[in-house]
């Protein structure tokens, strides 16, 4: 019969190792190899999983933790994808160029950027979401 391993929190150096491995991998990928960060993030996941295994967690518990993280972030990812689709449709249908044309006729170009910042600030405070404001009108 298998003995039950006792779970513990990772030591500080183990947690820092995971974070440091992720930072180094992403930095190398972007700066040296000029590529995307997907593979370095996978390397960070592998290192974090090894730290969790060393801390006494089972692979099933690690998988469940990953699945919980993905599930919790899925709603935000879907919202950002829908906003991206909306912006693409607006650009293709001419809404964005029309808004810029009439916006520059209403506001002088010298005050356009400060006015945009103020409008975004007011919208962000009114809706309670800076990311939503940034993605839609910012």
**What pLDDT, in 10s, does the model give residues 17-56?**
999 999 999 999 999 999 998 999 999 999 999 999 999 9
Is 21 within a domain?
yes
Radius of gyration of the chain (CA): 23
Domain of 28, in residue numbers:
8-57
Is 135 within a domain?
no
**Mean per-residue pLDDT, 132-136:** 82
pLDDT at residue 131 tops 90: no
Is 63 within a domain?
no
The number of distinct structural domains making up the chain is 1
Is 62 within a domain?
no
Is 74 within a domain?
no
Q: Which of 54, 48, 41, 46 is nearest to 8 (CA)?
A: 54
Is 32 within a domain?
yes
Is 87 within a domain?
no
């Amino acid at each position: 019969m298998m003995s039950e391993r006792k779970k513990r929190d990772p030591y500080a150096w183990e947690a820092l190792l995971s974070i440091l491995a992720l930072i180094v991998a992403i930095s190398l990928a972007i700066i040296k190899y000029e590529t995307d960060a997907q593979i370095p993030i996978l390397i960070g996941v592998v290192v974090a999983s090894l730290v969790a295994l060393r801390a006494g967690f089972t692979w099933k518990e690690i998988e469940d933790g990953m699945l919980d993280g993905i599930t919790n972030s899925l709603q935000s990812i879907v919202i950002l994808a829908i906003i991206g689709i909306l912006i693409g449709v607006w650009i293709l249908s001419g809404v964005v160029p029309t808004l810029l044309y009439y916006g520059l006729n209403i506001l002088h170009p010298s005050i356009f950027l400060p006015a945009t910042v103020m409008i975004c600030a007011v919208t962000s405070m009114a809706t309670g979401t800076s990311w939503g404001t940034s993605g839609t009108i910012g």
